[in-house]
Amino acid sequence: MSGGRPDWRALGLRLRLSHPADPPSLGLALLSLFLVAPPQGWLAWGREASRYFPHVDFARLRLADLIRIPLQLLWLALVRLPEAGPRALRSPSGSGRLARAAGRFGAAAAAGRAACRGWLQRQFPAWFDPERLRRAVEGAAEHQWWQNPLLRGGCYALAALLGAVCVTTPFDEASQAVFTIVLLLIALWVRRIPGPVSTLILMVFSIAVSTRYIWWRTTSTINDDSWPNLVSGLILLGAELYAWLVLLLGFLQSSWMLKRKATPLPADTSLWPTVDVFIPIYSEPLRVLKPTVFAAMTMDWPRDKLRVHILDDGDSEEIRRFAAEAGAGYITRARHDHAKAGNINHALGLTGGEFVAIFDCDHIPTRSFLQVTMGGFLRDAKLALVQTPHHFFSADPFERNLDTHHKIPNENELFYGRVQDGNDLWNATFFCGSCAVLRRAPLLEVGGIAVETVTEDAHTSLKLHRLGYRSSYLNTIQAAGLATESLSAHVGQRIRWARGMAQIFRSDNPLFGKGLTLGQRFCYLNAMMHFLYGIPRLVFLTAPLAFLLFHAYTIYAPALGLVLYVVPHMVFAVMSNSRMHGQFRRSFWGEIYETVLAWYITLPTTVALLFPGLGKFNVTAKGGVVEENYVDWDISKPYLALLGLNLLGVGFGAYRLWQGPANEMGTVVVNLLWVGYNTLLLSVALAVARELRQVRVAHRVNAALPVTLHLPDGKAYRCHTLDYSEGGMALRLPAGLSLRRYRDEDLTVSLRRGQRSFAFPCRMVFARDGRLSVRFSDLSMEQERELVQCTFARADAWLEADARAHEGSPLHGAGDVWRMGSSSLRQLLAGALLPASLRGARWFSILRGLGSLLPRQPQLIRD
């Protein structure tokens, strides 16, 4: 302190995070100091704290820094920084009263929360014991009173009446606020209770709040004083009605996970049935096919009751020779009509096994696949289909290009982790084309695999269910394969799925026709409705522009009304879906996937609805490589166009804040927040289109398998694998072991399968830091088969993949969108994603200027 004034330089230097696990506290402290300190003060400490403002030169402040500094402060206040232990700016001796107050503010707030929570726990201990609450809730749900149909029906009728009153009763703004707050507090308390019953309660809350929002939208917010207002309002309302319907169907479909267990087989193997294994292939390389064939031929099943057939629709002489050498059946056909479905149907006429197991050529089954899936067929004569999950050990374009592989659940995990388990409750498990077993007789009864649509698998299961056959889903990974290699291939695959489901919706609608239960109709309907999200998602990405650019009111309501109705609708929907699906998908990631695909599925689904006979099957390429980093500009064009429109909306919104009427400021802010969120989603879509280099032909699988390393001098060392592939593996060496002198010599690694040990010759790729990488050399076909048995086909190969952690808080998903979206947008504006030919354009300097305003990662240092 000097002259009674704070020493702002010392204050800035002494700013520390109050707790390393709560970095936003730093942002709040900096923001507080920024607001209370005089300009000369925050400039003084700001120069010393430049690590938190890497894009600001405090020695030469510029006019644009008036935007950069507040944005960075807000970013620090809201976003969790990467954890790397305690962090701080280096600080010399010296302190001030305000510095101590700022440093203690976060601790005092945390202590207050802890004291309040402690008092509540002492006063109401039962309310804070999750397990006790779970037993109480599930005990009430399972009480014998509910066996009385009259009581159960009366309760349902009363609940429906209360729901109707809750949804349709008009509230003033204060009453709506009280209603929302009370319901939210109850929901936050219920959210603490583990178990499926509390999940159902959250679903009911979400349905009530969302249905109340839709009622308010349809009765109170449509402005018909002009055609632009009416048309834009009705378009947005239509998209919201679609989203609301899908929300309700999704809740019904996934309301309860059946978690079916495998049915044991009889001990007498003579009672086990015969099984034909079909592996259809078209143009995929032999190296992709070989592990699948080797694994299928060594499944634990009587040799005389297992026949493996390669169904080659590409008439490859190389694959014909391989089938002969491996001892597998080889089936081809003269006419290649109806793609994969026709290929399988042709093979059905040439084989005679009681059951058919189908694997795509890249899906490698474990040795236990048939023993896990076949028991139910022997117990239930009406069971026609058993489906298992599709698991992928390679990264899909989202995982590779966003660096989320093994960190965030991929796009498929929600369907195979939660949705299919929910379908199983309603006897509506979908056939997914691979990793499944079907009973031959019912399959022939429906005419074989369906050929009327390009999603032949789902259509086949629909036909089986119409005839009254049952299906089951075993949520245990028993096979694994390759994901799509590029975004363009991924989009092409999803286009086929979307077109096929729209074709089924149009030509064999599950709402009509005989044979399906109500639950089955709703499950199939939701699957088909899901793929119609193209137009609604495009509406959500452009709706705020109607007001910002053209001053058209899509929702004719005051800003406070939007907050009181829209925000609860979104909060409860996100909270409920996070509780249901958080183990299999992070919050807000569904919107990322839809944003990437919406433009491309809109036209195919629309055409399929109008002309269901059009469209053809396209094979998804697998096993490819990406030679170098590049941006797929062809597929990025829609994202760039929509991003440009949203950035234009930001500019118009800023102008309306500056020059617009005062009574519209709230509406402008709401639309700016909406367009800002759309900008982040579109920026993430651009990041996905930036294909990263992937040159591994054989994808590695992380696993810790016991292995013995044999050196040329006869010494042997016990190690564990770090990862493995068909081409090699990485080992963790014992401490102190150096292998430099063996660089050009032959090594051997041996793996165990049961009581047997198998040796594989290899050569060193490198050895450093206790890690050895080897490449297999000159393996015979028998050794290749043994290697697959010891790695990919192990019964426990994918047990760790079955263990998934819940996301915890939906804020983690929101943080993903913010972090990846802002990073992608910054790179785009800085020119990192643009071709070199465009970086010299005049307008590029404007983009760079805008990019310089965005927040940056602080350059913190470790203690």
The set of catalytic residues is 313, 457
Residue that has been written with the tokens 């509230």 in this structure: 171
Secondary structure element (H or E) that encloses residue 562, with its range? helix 559-581
- Are the beta carbons of 52 and 72 closer than 8 angstroms? yes
Which residue intervals of 419-533 are DSSP H helices? 420-425, 440-445, 456-466, 487-507, 518-530
Collapsing DSSP to helix, strand or coil, 25 comes out as helix
Nearest to 410 by CA among 688, 699, 630: 688
| Token pair belonging to 656 | 């309306």
Collapsing DSSP to helix, strand or coil, 481 comes out as strand
How is residue 523 annotated by DSSP? Answer: H
- Residue 721: beta bridge partners? 731
Name the burial class of residue 105, with classes exposed (0-12), middle (13-18) and buried (19+) by CB atoms within 10 angstroms of its CB. Answer: middle
How is residue 170 annotated by DSSP? Answer: -
Residues 449-472 as b or e (16 or more Cβ within 10 Å = b): bbbbbbbbbbbbbbbbbbeebbbb
Collapsing DSSP to helix, strand or coil, 156 comes out as helix
| Token pair belonging to 204 | 């009911």
CA 712 to each of CA 675, 727, 749: distance values in angstroms, whole numbers, following the listed order:
65, 21, 11
Collapsing DSSP to helix, strand or coil, 180 comes out as helix
Cα separation, 399 vs 380, whole angstroms? 40
Cα separation, 617 vs 449, whole angstroms? 14
Collapsing DSSP to helix, strand or coil, 441 comes out as helix
Cα separation, 776 vs 759, whole angstroms? 11
Q: Torsion angle of alpha carbons 850, 852, 853, 858, nearest 10°? A: 150
| Token pair belonging to 706 | 């016991």
Collapsing DSSP to helix, strand or coil, 714 comes out as coil
Nearest to 686 by CA among 400, 494, 401: 401
Cα separation, 420 vs 254, whole angstroms? 8
Collapsing DSSP to helix, strand or coil, 859 comes out as coil
Half-sphere exposure of 380 (CA within 13 A, CB side): 18
CA 787 to each of CA 300, 615, 839: distance values in angstroms, whole numbers, following the listed order:
16, 41, 50
Nearest to 444 by CA among 515, 378, 345, 357: 345
Cα separation, 295 vs 300, whole angstroms? 10
Collapsing DSSP to helix, strand or coil, 534 comes out as helix
Nearest to 363 by CA among 424, 315, 299: 299
Q: How many helices (H) and strands (E) does the chain have?
A: 31, 21
- Are the beta carbons of 771 and 760 closer than 8 angstroms? no
Phi, psi of 276 (to 5 degrees): -100, 130
Cα separation, 771 vs 126, whole angstroms? 52
- Are the beta carbons of 773 and 728 closer than 8 angstroms? yes
